[in-house]
Amino acid sequence: MKKTLFLSFVFCLLTTTVQGQVYPGDTWAQLPTRNLYDTNMMAMYLQAWEETSSRRLELYNDYKNQAIEAYNEGEWEDAIYYVNKALNTQYYSGQLYFIRGYSYEQLGYFSNAKKDYKIAKKCNYQDAATALENLKAKRKRR
């Protein structure tokens, strides 16, 4: 008797929780996730992603050029600012990490410079390994 009562309780509990989600006679076409494909929502999402990706790439190139210009002129704070803006676009470059590392080094932030040189080295930026060795030698002399 207790076993039958317990099983009927579990059955009632399961049927009440399932009723709000999926009915036994439902097909996949009736499920809410299926409507995404039927109404071309995925195509809209992909189009929006492509548009934002191209805009982010444009911003990345603009900020990268401004960072290189500031680096060449010796404006270290501006170079760091534009490198940070470029990296926030989610596009990455070993050159940008090198520029920011060198700028940090010129401003005396050696631990930040070391981190950026290491990232630039992982990105196979050629000058990063030499800069990292020079930074270590400079810190030993102090």
pLDDT tens by residue, 61-97:
999 999 999 999 999 999 999 999 999 988 889 999 9
pLDDT tens by residue, 14-70:
555 444 555 555 555 555 555 555 567 777 777 888 888 888 899 999 999 999 999
pLDDT, average across residues 129-135: 90
Please give the full DSSP string across the chain, using - where no structure is assigned.
-HHHHHHHHHHHHHHHHHHTT--TT--GGGSGGGHHHHTTHHHHHHHHHHHHHHHHHHHHHHHHHHHHHHHHHT-HHHHHHHHHHHHTTT---HHHHHHHHHHHHHHT-HHHHHHHHHHHHHTT-HHHHHHHHHHHHHHHH-
**pLDDT for 18:** 45
Superfamily designation of domain 42-141:
Tetratricopeptide repeat domain (1.25.40.10)
Domain residue limits, the chain: 42-141
Decide: pTM greater than 0.75: no
Closest by Cα among 77, 52, 82, 50 to 66:
82
